[in-house]
Structure 1
């Protein structure tokens, strides 16, 4: 931005205003990409306005200066730029013959520049103020302002401003016109002489630069020839390298293909052996399952039935016996009941061990509910037949089955219900089970947590799941299981 702005200033001083504007626009382009550059943009806009004024495009110049003055708190953030913009706006309006409020603008600009001690800029403002006074036919004040401009130009060593001021004084102050003209001529000749020296110096620099450029062109030509030769050798070397690489890749790919075919054949053989072993294992597991199921049925239907009958007989005798006999029979009944519970536990473990191998989970649940011997209770089982429930992990199926069994037995014994309902459904990555009855219900808060609830809690914790009991006295009970899968 700074380089383009400086080029714009230099070309403006050389009166090449169009090129100067192009460089100022480049400066603005880079400032648009620069954060917190409001003041810099305002400075460039002020410079563009000055160029428009030199090109006599006063409307554009005024528009630029007014945009600069619209920046928030510019008079605080950058008083010097604010004063320049005011002075330039007043001058442009004067040149456009719009003198409304122009004098106030000049006065305000001069006041700020005095505070900022901007001598060269203050000299320029007094000069433009003198132009306004001359336009207003106030020659005396105009000469006064020009003399102030002359003194300030001397103090700030502004030769260009001195020339402009003497030239204008020679026009306005007729009595001293010859003196001003002499001063003008002397300073102008001195500056022209100095400019010629500088031009000669630059001419020597240009000549030496041209020689250096010619040498560089010759060296660049030689360099291009060497570069082409280098490129040819690099191309030849690259060709040989690519040829060798291609041969290596072809040979290596053939070796990989042979190894891949061998691995595939070996994998197929291993898969065949694995399938044979799996079939054998399935046959053994099926035999074990059938045997476990048979033992379970024998224990449940045979031994438990007999023991239950004996317990019932003893219960009947217990009502007619003496106190001592009743006590002894009660002990016997307790022992029988312990044996019964122990055999039932064994039976259930064997039954579930067999169940773990059963492929159809929903059929097992339906069988559990259908084996209800209490014909007064209607059982209902809801599930989506399109869902693959057998894909659930074995541990989930076993524990859910046991929880349903436990809940169902509790409903039969305690709830006095007329129907018992089980629902399966999946929700995203979660298996949900809802068990409900229309029994007498109970107070969940006050009710005791028996073995059944503790067992449900233990099994759900194993599955990293959760459960909820919703029950109200006289309105039945609902138990919901939520198990991640």
Structure 2
């Protein structure tokens, strides 16, 4: 459970709202996401839903409808904890608009109806009803849309709100134009006059566009004039989608040099907005990734601190116990402690290395950053760039899986030999062939557990070193019992290494330390450009 901090959450939400009102969406998104992370899902229900709603709205405003849908869905389980219908209305409406903008009329209608059926105020019901009409318009079911809009325009609250009324009769005029009704021009002109009187530029863009669309069949010059006015106002208000819509009409209605001019403008704007939206999408993904990374690192740090405290308690208890036993049985315990201390050091080294190895996940940060940079700067609509992006993501996934496997616990029981074989076989690729000899001739059940761990880790580190540095195509691992010793020989046909100083730099120092810890010997063949050979043995 998160520590409750109402003052801090309210401060973050106020900052997020401030940036949202100024359309500084990247900063707004950052603070809404931070506020959401600070909220407790059981005590801060309204604030977490408010944060999610705004995060989804920001993504929606910038054309990331898929991302907006994913974000909005995060609120679904939390909505069950509130009885206030306005929160559900907000989420359902956001989802409906996302589906409407992605040509999924079925789901758009589903969520708009869910919003309409909630016990909310009249203004929200009007909004939901109008949204349902827009679905039918998008689906070219103009008669159903006309039926809904005709009822809405008679609503007293609608008639008292000039902006809503103008919008509804404008949509109604558009529908009538699509079915060839003479009523179309009446409603379109009436909406235009209201917007002109109120100096409502946003409403004027829609009015002029619908009039331009209406006159394409009967007055091409007037149609183009209206389209140009709508385009000019859309440019002033930086409404990219409206500009593109107007340009489409002008492209349809013109020819020659004008057609070429409008077509080039359309392509330039479309390319520009695609890049802007992709950049925003990547920016939001990075914000979420950074928060998740910071959260994961904090959790790891707390776990490590807790483990260290437990280990310290255990060490203190062991010392007290050892002192008491030492007084009573000093001679017997002396030998026991010597052997046990050696095993404990090896085990402690293994446990410490396992914990530290988890941090290797941070190595992925560079790959992730490069992949995000690629996605931000390249056009992902091309097949080649999509394939490059998918390949990069696959590499990140593979590296994550390999790090997990390299640092997983080792089964030293009956399954040890099969796990050892699987690990070695896992380094087989189309480019590298790993051959294993004699592994089944060793009586592994007679080998002590900590020595099995050393065998596993030594072989693993040799193969990891091969993968990073060797550039070989063939690896041969040979296991054999030589009198009372286990001998392992490693050979590859790679580039080799130049001198013994490179052994530590190539990550082979751990191999030496492990073998020396069990009183073994190790020999490296360091001739460069003639492959790489290692021979090691230790008592069994």
Bin for the TM-score computed over the shorter chain: 0.3 to 0.5
**Superposition TM-score, scaled by structure 1 size:** 0.38
**Superposition TM-score, scaled by structure 2 size:** 0.34
Higher alpha-carbon Rg = 1
